[in-house]
A and B are shown apart, each in its own frame.
Chain A
Amino acid sequence: MQAVILAAGEGTRLRPLTRSRPKALVPVANTPILKYVIDALLANGIREIIVVVGYRKEHVIRYLTESDLPVRVVVQENQLGTGHALRCAEPYLHDRFLLLAGDNYIDAASIARIKGERNAVLVTDHPNPTNFGVVVARDGLVREIKEKPDTPTGFIVSTGVYALDRSFFRYTVGQEIPDALQAMIRDGGRVVPVQAVDWQDAVNPWDLLEMNTKLLPRIDAKRAGTISRSSKLYGLIRIGKGTEIGPNTYIHGPVVIGEDCKIGPNCVILPNTSIGSRVTIDPLSYVAHSLVMDDVVIGSHSRIIDAVVGEACRLADHTATWTAGAVLEREGRFQKASFGAVLGDRVRSAPFTILKNCIVGNDVTIEAGNTTVTGVIPDDAVVI
């Protein structure tokens, strides 16, 4: 059996985190979302995997090459939609295949349910159906898929995982995948809905925190590195090689820490926290329920809670996040969400910065100390 994973799109709703990488490469529990999808396929014995890359394709290819994963890469030169992305893989497809999104988590059990079907869509219940394609099914067949409806007629949504065969290509010209499927159904095609076991999508950047919390309990507890005898570690914890955990550090799992990090002394890391590789957390800092990516420096006396911290951010001492729920305007849409902070890549902050329910763009510099940052700060801004 073959599978096509679409990893060519940016995933704009996850900005600012998608400037340096497509959504498929965003790490959750220190593993890119794409890797979960590939693993779920491999666990089902599906070995002929084609990954369609486009946006920041070199980064995706680099990741796949470094991990020595047995996949074939197909390049979509221009981002012309999902239907076009699938057609880029067409020359390599023989008959039946699975189609998946590289930027949604899917588990192996769901794949097992759908892989035997000829034409099927994997569906799930979701409390916010307006962000997805709402599936209308009757008599065991899909009748209609309404893409991101304003007034949804139900809570069953498409997960973007499909079982298809080559006859589907007739409908893909100039179409997005859900529209093509809709056309196939109108043409009398039989498409079966299959209930997913576990599927997750992070629509907004702060949703990554919830996804991180859900996926962290699945890590292998394995502790490498140097861990001070006077530190205290409880629960499910994974620590990568080369990492140093300083004296009197308290870590309560589930927590994953990457390679070559320096943490402590006297730090506290509380549950549902992922810390990437080469991260430094200076003494007397406190991190909880957060997703910290690679190469980040968190200064001493900091307090990072409910935060997504992008790659290579440098937060000076006494940085604090403040969890609150305000209405934020993002790309013309108003949303209310409660979280501490979402920082893009390479954000630099001065000492005593307070980040209150804010989204800070890539390469932003917060120059003045003692500032409370709120709202949405665009990329490359300087806060004075």
Chain B
Amino acid sequence: MCGIVGYIGFRSAADVIVEGLQKLEYRGYDSFGVATSNPHLAVYKCEGKISEKFEKARELHGSIGVGHTRWATHGVPSDRNAHPHLDCTGRIAVVHNGIIENYSALTRELKERGHTFLSETDTEVVAHLIEEAYDGDLRAAVAQAITHLKGSYALLVTAEGHEEIVAARDSSPLVLGIGDQELFAASDVTPLIGYTERVVYLDDGDLATLDREGWHVYHHGTPVKRAIEHVDWDVETVRKGGFPHYMLKEIFEQPKVFYDTFHGITPESLPERYRRPSEITVVACGSSYHAGLVFKYLCESTCRIPVRAELGSEFKYFTPPLKGIVMVITQSGETADTLAALKKAKAYNCPTLAITNVLGSTVTRIADHTLYMRAGPEISVAATKSFVAQLAVLMQLVNLMSPKSGLSGSLERANSAIDEVLLQDIGRAVEICRPAEHLFYVGRGLFYPIALEGALKMKEISYIHAEGYAAGELKHGPFALLSEETPVVALCSPGDTYSIMLSNIKEMKARKAPIIGIGARGDRELIDIVDVFLPIPESHELVQLIATSVLLQQLAYQTAVALGRDVDQPRNLAKSVTVE
């Protein structure tokens, strides 16, 4: 997903576009660019978030322009690959949202005909195609160019010497905003809000021209009338698409995220030298660290390779003796502590592997090799889908290191297990957590890191003090805190530690702590001893682990909502921690 904005009117186009792109940041934020025509074309492109680096873009002059905020699909985010893209003459500027499926064939043909390509994107072909068809009539040239395209696109085109913007769409969203003496075009209505409430939705196959005189729409070449609609939406409602919070939206995206990420990592994604390391050191912070701990348990038992999980902030100053590969996990790819640790590992000459969600982020440029999660932009501060995506990458990694483990088959359908968990009514569990001042999360083995992550989610967004423990550790201290006012969330899935978990729960119960038990559906024994039972599907241990973490996200989310917390922007926290 990317976001595009176009403006023609009496204001400074750059100002309107920069502001519009910031509102579209939820569609992508790895690089951006603006082009204005004044009457000469001026372009500013930049890698990074528009909300942080917009100053220079606003200096462009002119009252006509187009802009783009990118979420890279073809070509890493860089100044060069950022839109707008220009033709060979530098007179035609194009911004594009969508995917041109036949771009490699078109690129080849265009190169043969002497065109020079400056980027690795699919979009640049459009600029060159328009250049070939251009004979003074921009609309005709665009109409001609799009006949060659296969795939999805929403395009905005402007050219030197033209007081107009040409827009075209097929299978990607595009709306026009009709103001007083000014016109807008954008991926959705958010950039228009505050300027106009009158919008025109374009259809697939539509081409529109916006100029000083007005706007016209053509459908496959024939002029057509499109009705003006009235919108009175606010920005946040549009972006969340009806969900009350980004966090809930992202929680519900997880079945797809897990499936896409797990299947997105193939044997080709992992070079041979990472397959049988003598030792693995995982470095990460926050939720990513918990994912790293899951990996430690899983990899050590399945691949028999020693794994050490380290916190980024500690690793930098207290680096352990390193052997084998160093693997860093960071959603944003910009986490300062993790980057520092990675640099240190490189200084020690270790092969490095990064796992991140953002194509071309800083971590990808430092690490020797990168594996990507396919979570899409994550807006909520509390990590949900990125955690599940990290688990998907790490589980696939273990599968590739130890192909005989049969993990692939067991995990292929984890997406339906997540979907199943999302159907559950957890109201009674929320009722227990809501009034609590302290909560304990306990689990053993693979479920210990999940308990840590569940507790982290709870404290992050509900501000209830929650701690995760390995169940056996309770007796070494925390047991003293148990009372009827300290509910315990116990993760008790079938497996090696099931019976010992059961007796731990009974001990906690004897201290009168209310227990929320999470276990396999139909587990009669567990149902009888806990106060609230939350079932997860009976299936492979790892599928249960994923299902449990999704259930714990829901528990944290619904508790926070019941307490009236600001779920998406919890106090004192930032999405990615780019300072030490």
Q: Do A and B come together as binding partners?
A: yes
Supposing A48-B230, A64-B241, A65-B249 touch, asked if A70 and B173 sit within 8 A by C-beta, the answer is yes
- Is there an interface contact between B242 and A64, defined as CB atoms closer than 8 Å? yes
CA of A133 to CA of B232 in the docked complex: distance in angstroms? Answer: 35
Q: How far is the CB of B318 from chain A (nearest CB, A)?
A: 44
Question: Which residue of B is nearest A20, CB measured?
Answer: B423
- Residue A73 is within 8 A (CB to CB) of chain B in the complex: yes
- Residue A62 is within 8 A (CB to CB) of chain B in the complex: yes
- Is there an interface contact between B242 and A75, defined as CB atoms closer than 8 Å? yes
- Is there an interface contact between B252 and A312, defined as CB atoms closer than 8 Å? no
- Residue A94 is within 8 A (CB to CB) of chain B in the complex: yes
- Contact flags A48-75 to B (C-beta < 8 A → 1, else 0): 1000010011110110111010101101
Supposing A58-B252, A58-B422, A311-B416 touch, asked if A65 and B243 sit within 8 A by C-beta, the answer is yes
CA of A68 to CA of B252 in the docked complex: distance in angstroms? Answer: 16
Q: Which residues of B contact A92 (CB under 8 A)?
A: 232
Q: Which residues of A contact B416 (CB under 8 A)?
A: 294-295, 311-312, 346
- Is there an interface contact between A61 and B242, defined as CB atoms closer than 8 Å? yes
- Contact flags A270-311 to B (C-beta < 8 A → 1, else 0): 000000001000000000000000110100000000000001
Binding site for B on A (CB under 8 A): 1, 19-20, 42, 45, 47-48, 53, 56-59, 61-62, 64-66, 68, 70, 72-73, 75, 92, 94, 260, 278, 294-295, 297, 311-312, 345-346, 363
CA of A253 to CA of B31 in the docked complex: distance in angstroms? Answer: 45
Supposing A260-B263, A346-B416 touch, asked if A58 and B230 sit within 8 A by C-beta, the answer is no
CA of A66 to CA of B260 in the docked complex: distance in angstroms? Answer: 14
Q: How far is the CB of B73 from chain A (nearest CB, A)?
A: 15
- Is there an interface contact between A346 and B173, defined as CB atoms closer than 8 Å? no
CA of A72 to CA of B189 in the docked complex: distance in angstroms? Answer: 12
- Contact flags B198-241 to A (C-beta < 8 A → 1, else 0): 00010100000000000000000000001101111100010001
Q: Which residues of B contact A42 (CB under 8 A)?
A: 203
Q: Which residues of A contact B498 (CB under 8 A)?
A: none
Q: How far is the CB of A294 from chain B (nearest CB, A)?
A: 8
CA of A33 to CA of B175 in the docked complex: distance in angstroms? Answer: 26
Q: How far is the CB of A263 from chain B (nearest CB, A)?
A: 15
- Residue B542 is within 8 A (CB to CB) of chain A in the complex: no
Give chain B interface residues in 257-303, CB to chain A under 8 Å.
Answer: 259, 263
Binding site for A on B (CB under 8 A): 172-173, 175, 201, 203, 226-227, 229-233, 237, 241-243, 248-249, 252-253, 256, 259, 263, 413, 415-416, 419-420, 422-423, 521, 537
Supposing A20-B423, A295-B415 touch, asked if A61 and B230 sit within 8 A by C-beta, the answer is no
Q: Which residues of B contact A57 (CB under 8 A)?
A: 242
Q: How far is the CB of A292 from chain B (nearest CB, A)?
A: 14
Question: Which residue of A is nearest B237, CB measured?
Answer: A72
Supposing A47-B229, A70-B201, A311-B416 touch, asked if A61 and B241 sit within 8 A by C-beta, the answer is yes
Supposing A47-B227, A47-B229, A58-B248 touch, asked if A65 and B242 sit within 8 A by C-beta, the answer is yes
A-B contact pairs, 19 of them (CB 8 A): A19-B423, A45-B226, A45-B227, A47-B229, A48-B231, A53-B242, A57-B242, A58-B243, A58-B422, A61-B243, A61-B249, A70-B201, A92-B232, A260-B263, A294-B416, A345-B420, A346-B416, A346-B420, A346-B537
CA of A80 to CA of B226 in the docked complex: distance in angstroms? Answer: 37
- Is there an interface contact between B229 and A62, defined as CB atoms closer than 8 Å? no
